[in-house]
């Protein structure tokens, strides 16, 4: 087990790595529009110019974090997309059908946070002496949870001037999309609450963290890793850990249709005070600058 944890940590991107040059060409484009534009630009060439004969499915894992990768300032989330085949009318009832160029698609995001986080973005992760090591010593409360949209989640990141990372898009099989829909519906029922440190609540499935909300979509509380989430397994490292788990399970290998490289596949967005000015925090090899 110890060797496995060390190998996982070695495989993760280092949050302290020095970023390369930052692209300022879209600096005046809001962060959400930059991210959506990047997703569309990466998926569109894969669909070709002819009408689609069968549906295609993609997932885009995300994370944001601040300088120092403090757990209360980090978040992991994932967006899942279905692109419809031509002349297809089948949809997921609760998801609107959208259009881009000649394609119709539906998309949703799994971004699990306290329900009032837009108004009160102050996250309690560890509170009390020894709370990080001993779950019973953590005094953080349980909160009603909410599954946030991609737009609202990125607004939270931008308001905090955080660095944002995205991986993929990765093509997935239909059963992978269906697992994502099932997780979205489970969270939207309102029966499960939110807690960043959910170690004490796994048995009764009372509360769940953002990490576990998107990890192991076939089981509500996937096991593994130090403290059931890992040492420093939040922010970029947390999402990378999820991808390593996806890529390492035989079941998910059949659902992931693209190879995964948690280091090379990562692209990011970083805050800058002014156009072509200094970037306070850039742990990414490739990144675009944003300011709102």
Residue, of 1 and 96, whose pLDDT is higher: 96
How far is CA 207 from each of CA 48, 152, 168, rounded to the nearest angstrom?
A: 43, 22, 29
pLDDT at 16: 37
Question: Where in the chain are the domains?
Answer: 2-15+32-271
> Over 70: is that where the pLDDT of 20 sits?
no
Task: Return mean pLDDT, the chain.
Answer: 86
**Model pLDDT for residues 90-110, shown as the tens digit of each residue:** 788 999 999 999 899 999 999
Would you say the pTM of this structure is higher than 0.75? yes
Which backbone phi and psi does 219 adopt, to 5 degrees? -150, 135
Residue 162 near residue 73, CB atoms below 8 Å = yes
In the chain, how many H helices and how many E strands?
A: 7, 13
Look at the block and give the residue holding tokens 């300011």. 291
38-56 mean pLDDT: 94
Q: What is the mean pLDDT of residues 219-248?
A: 67
Span 70-90, average pLDDT:
91
pLDDT for the residue numbered 220: 56
CB 76 within 8 A of CB 186: no
Q: Quick one: average pLDDT of 257-264?
A: 91
Q: Which residues lie across from 91 on neighbouring strands?
A: none
pLDDT tops 90 at residue 242: no
Residues near 46 by beta carbon (within 8 Å), at least 6 away in sequence: 56, 171
Question: Residue 269 and residue 87: Cα distance in Å, rounded?
Answer: 36
Find tokens 């119709």 and name the residue.
104
Question: What percent of the chain clears pLDDT 90, i.e. is strictly above it?
Answer: 62
Residue 145 and residue 193 in contact, taking contact as beta carbons nearer than 8 Å:
yes
| pLDDT at 225 > cutoff 80 | no
């Amino acid at each position: 087990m110890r060797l496995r944890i060390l190998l996982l940590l070695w495989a993760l991107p280092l949050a302290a790595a020095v970023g390369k040059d930052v692209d300022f060409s879209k600096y005046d484009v809001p962060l959400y529009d930059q991210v959506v534009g990047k997703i569309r630009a990466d998926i569109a060439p894969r669909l070709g110019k002819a009408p689609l004969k069968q549906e295609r499915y993609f997932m885009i894992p995300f994370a944001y974090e601040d300088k120092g990768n403090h757990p209360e300032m980090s978040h992991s989330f994932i967006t899942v997309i279905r692109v419809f085949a031509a002349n297809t009318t089948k949809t997921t009832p609760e998801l609107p059908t959208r259009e881009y160029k000649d394609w119709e698609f539906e998309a949703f995001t799994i971004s699990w946070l306290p329900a009032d986080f837009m108004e009160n973005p102050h996250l309690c992760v560890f509170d009390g002496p020894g709370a990080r090591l001993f779950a019973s010593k953590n005094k953080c409360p349980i909160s009603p949870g909410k599954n946030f949209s991609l737009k609202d989640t990125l607004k939270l990141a931008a308001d905090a001037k955080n660095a944002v990372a995205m991986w993929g898009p990765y093509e997935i099989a239909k059963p992978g999309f269906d697992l994502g829909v099932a997780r979205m519906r489970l969270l939207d029922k309102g029966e499960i609450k939110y807690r960043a440190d959910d170690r004490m609540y796994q048995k009764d499935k009372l509360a769940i963290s953002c990490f576990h909300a998107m990890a192991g979509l076939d089981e509500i509380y996937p096991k593994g890793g130090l403290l059931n989430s890992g040492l420093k397994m939040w922010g970029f490292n947390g999402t990378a850990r999820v991808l390593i788990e996806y890529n390492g399970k035989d079941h998910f290998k059949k659902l992931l249709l693209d190879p995964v490289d948690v280091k090379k596949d990562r692209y990011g967005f970083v805050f800058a005070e002014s156009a072509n000015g200094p970037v306070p925090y850039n742990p990414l090899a490739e990144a675009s600058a944003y300011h709102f």
